[in-house]
Structure formats: structure tokens, C-alpha cells
Structure 1
Amino acid sequence: MTSGDGAPGPTDVEAAERLLGDLRAEIARADGKAAVLVAALGMTAGIITGLLANSAWAPGDLSAVGSLAWWTGILALALALFALLMTVLPRYGGTAWAPGRPLAYFSDIQRAARLGRLATALDDTARAPVSGLLAALTETSRIATVKHQWIRTGLIAFCCGAVLLPGAVLAG
């Protein structure tokens, strides 16, 4: 809510702070999901490697269809690993902080300090807390969205690989 003079009211700040906290928690959950999926991917790769090492069978023994499914499955698992690693890759602010703008992200603080304007930037941010919160909400929302896109890609690729590899062996 805004007050009669158009200035942001306490509810605006509280709502923005609550949403920012929710977004940060969602980013942490996304990183946790990616870590679990990378562990599952590692177990899958370990099982496949163990089975191949302890048998006389080799992917070259497969028919053309089986071979296509096998190598497509291997590529799917590689894509899954790439996507899941992209999930946990640090993401830096999309816009560079400039004097007069609120501090919203750690890279903003670093840039303001490098320019010798950190104290002024902190004062600007304190005078207009909603502006800083809106900038932080925008950036953390972008980060959460990108992380979830990579998780979806990784999960779909992992499932495809998990179906294609045994399917290739069954196809012969």
C-alpha cells in the first residue's frame, strides 16, 4: 500500500521482504534438487560402468537400433549432467549498478565499493527501500526461473537416458 503522498507504506516493504525471502528459499531448494539429481546421475553412471566392467558385453554388440538408443541415452545423461551443473552455476546481476540506483544484489555492493560510493549508495537505498527491494525481487526472480528451467531440462534428459539405456540393451 502507498500512503496518501504516494510514498510506499510499510505493507509494501513487508510484502517485498516476504517475497524476497520466499524467492531466496526457492533458489536454495532448486540448488538442493540439482544436488540430489546429480547424485542420482552419478549412481546411474556408476551402476552402468560397474555392469560393463564386469561383463563381456560391450555397446558395440548392439544392433543398429540398439546402438542408436544406447548412444542417445549416453548423450541424454551427458546433457542432464550439463543442465544440472548449470543449475548451481553462480548467476551475477543482469544489470550493473550505477550511482543513484539502489543496492539490490551483492555485485551492486561490490561495484559501489569499487567506485568509492558505498556509503552514498547505502544512504540512497535506505531512503528508498522499496526501490532496492523491487530490484532485488526482479533479480532473484530471474535467477529462480533460470534455475528451474535448467532443472527441468536436466530431469527430462535424465529420465530419457534412464529409459534409453536399458531399452537399448533389451533391443539388442
Structure 2
Amino acid sequence: MTTAGTAVHSPDFSAGVQLLADLRNEITRADTKATVLAGVLSMSAGLLGGLLTSSRSPGVLSALAGALWWTGLLAHVIAQLALLLAVMPRYRRSRWRPGVPLTYFGDIRRASRSGRLGTALTETGPATTDGLLTALAETSRIVAHKHLWIRAGLIAFGCASLLLPGSLLVN
């Protein structure tokens, strides 16, 4: 059995700390990508509004062109929602209880509300590896969800980018 000091200086622990830092950087990059893409989508929504007020409104499109237009508009809305979901903070219910290491702010809040924050911090020190493993699992879950919503948003935006102009060409 290793002591907490030995575990903190082990190669496995150092690799875990590096992975956690990389995951946190990836969360920041994913949030930045999704925010920029949401901004681009918002600007393109302004262009769509301009198209609606022009002489080529959806009401004067043929049946096929109208179907393409409304499908493209739906894809645009789905893309916007997906990118907003990508940047939405991901919280989980704190599962902290006495004897379990603190791993994120929800655990700290729960320990504080129960009046056990000092004890929890003391117990977390020796259980650093357990806390690191929990933090790695939770952070990787957050990254996976963000990437899922960014991919969904990009696919929907790609569809909208083809369908909306295509509806005007088919007419």
C-alpha cells in the first residue's frame, strides 16, 4: 500500500494530472469553437431575415423549393440549439458524502452546506488519487458531451447551408 505522498509523486498520478489539465483545456477550446459558431449562425440568421423581407420570400417558392427552404430553416434552428447546448455548463448532482474525496465545486458546496467542509478537505488530502480519477471521469464526460453537440450543430449547419440557398436555385 502506498502513502499519499508516494501516490502524488508517482508517474501514474502525474499522467492523471496532465490528462486533467488537457481535458480542461479541451473544454475551453470546445466552448470557444461553439461560441464562435453560434455567432456565425446568428449572423446568418440575420441574412435569412433579409431574404424573408425580399421579393423571394418562402411564400412565393414552388412546393419543392418551399420544402427545401423550411427544412433548411429547421436545420438552422437545430444547429443554433445544438451549439448553445455545447456551451451550456454541465452540472451533475453532487454525490459527495463524508469519506469521499472532494472533486469539483458541487462537492465543495455540498460539504459546506452540511458543515463538513474542513473535515472533507482533510479527508481529500490522503485520497488525492481517488479524487483525481473521479475528476478525470467527470471532465471527460463533459468534453464528450460538448463535442457531441458541436458535431450535431456543424452537421445541421452544413445541411442548412446547402438547403437554404438550394431552395432559391430550385425555384
TM-score by length of 1: 0.92
8 Å CA contact retained: 1:94, 1:139: no
What percentage of residue pairs aligned between the two structures are identical? 53
8 Å CA contact retained: 2:76, 2:160: yes
Change (3 A) 1:31 1:43: same
| Alpha-carbon distance between aligned partners in 1 of 2:92 and 2:16, rounded to the nearest angstrom | 18
8 Å CA contact retained: 1:93, 1:105: no
Q: In the TM superposition, what is the alpha-carbon distance from 1:13 to its structure 2 partner?
A: 2.0
Match of 1:143 in 2: 142
Which AA in structure 2 matches 1:133?
A: L
| Alpha-carbon distance between aligned partners in 2 of 1:36 and 1:128, rounded to the nearest angstrom | 39
Match of 1:26 in 2: 26
How many residues get paired? Answer: 167
Match of 1:164 in 2: 163
| Alpha-carbon distance between aligned partners in 1 of 2:112 and 2:13, rounded to the nearest angstrom | 25
Structure 1 unpaired stretches of 5+: none
Q: In the TM superposition, what is the alpha-carbon distance from 1:92 to its structure 2 partner?
A: 0.9
- The alignment partner of 1:27 has SS state of helix
Q: In the TM superposition, what is the alpha-carbon distance from 1:9 to its structure 2 partner?
A: 5.6
Structure 2 unpaired stretches of 5+: none
| Alpha-carbon distance between aligned partners in 1 of 2:146 and 2:93, rounded to the nearest angstrom | 15
Please provide the CA RMSD for this pair: 1.3
Q: In the TM superposition, what is the alpha-carbon distance from 1:6 to its structure 2 partner?
A: 4.7
Which AA in structure 1 matches 2:13?
A: V
